[in-house]
């Protein structure tokens, strides 16, 4: 029996690797993950939603409709308590240019420059959406709690990982191995929550 095709609706290489690892762990051999590179005519979806769930569904719906195969997409970001949940849905483009991790991290450090350790709490959130060509859809959320450090540490991961120290650990999430991060991260939790529905709906 050939594996079911599932479109990963992202061009972010870090996310693609995380998706692939986690879904392979859950549904090895049953799902063939297809990237957007196999659909060169598909354009990026404007994230016009006001929540992570709205943006995830926007991306998954549009990519499913355009490709004709089931699509899975996520929207994720960092919410800092002292900043009233910012950068939130604007995490990837907070400093002005989409995907400029260094600029985003520099802005975050500047915003928290005089904030003491006890008030630097934050969490990553990820909402994953699965949309089927027949109109069925579902979403699942995962959260990853911790605090913001005073300088970037570590070379693994992407985004705000070098500044994020998970609760109960003395290292940043950029110092964790891929398997360590997958086990407790927001994306890992969200994908593991939606994986049974992926298998069931396919």
3-class secondary-structure state, position 136: coil
The residue from 37, 46, 74, 75 that is catalytic is 75
Mark whether 74 is an active-site residue.
Answer: no
CA–CA gap between residue 138 and residue 157 (Å, rounded): 27
Q: What angle do CA 121, 101, 153 make, to 5 degrees?
A: 60
Q: Which residue carries 């699509």 as its tokens?
A: 71
As given in the structure block, the two tokens for residue 192 are 């593991």
Pairing, β 31-35 against β 4-8 = parallel
CA distances in angstroms from 116 to 113, 164, 166, listed in the order given: 9, 15, 17
As given in the structure block, the two tokens for residue 178 are 């891929």
Residue among 172, 171, 169 at smallest CA distance from 160: 172
Which spans in the chain are helix H? 13-27, 52-67, 101-111, 178-184, 186-201
Q: What are phi and psi of 28, to 5 degrees?
A: -55, 125
Q: Which residues are catalytic?
A: 75
């Amino acid at each position: 029996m050939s594996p079911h095709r599932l479109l990963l609706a992202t061009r972010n290489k870090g996310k693609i690797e995380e998706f692939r690892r986690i879904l392979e762990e859950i549904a090895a051999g049953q799902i063939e993950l297809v990237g957007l590179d196999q659909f060169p005519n598909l354009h990026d979806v404007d994230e016009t939603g006001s929540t992570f769930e709205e943006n995830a569904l926007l991306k998954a719906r549009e990519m499913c409709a355009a490709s004709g195969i089931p699509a899975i997409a996520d929207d994720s970001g960092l919410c800092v308590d002292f900043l009233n949940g910012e950068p939130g849905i604007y995490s990837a483009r907070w400093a002005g240019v989409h995907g400029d991790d260094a600029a985003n991290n520099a802005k975050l450090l500047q915003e928290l420059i005089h904030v003491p350790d006890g008030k630097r709490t934050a969490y990553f959130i990820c909402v994953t959406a699965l949309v089927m060509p027949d109109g069925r859809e579902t979403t699942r959320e995962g959260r990853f709690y911790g605090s913001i450090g005073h300088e970037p540490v570590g070379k693994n991961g992407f985004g705000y990982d070098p500044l994020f120290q998970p609760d109960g650990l003395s290292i940043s999430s950029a110092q964790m191995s891929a398997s360590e991060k997958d086990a407790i991260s927001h994306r890992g939790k969200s994908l593991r929550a939606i994986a049974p529905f992926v298998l069931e709906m396919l």
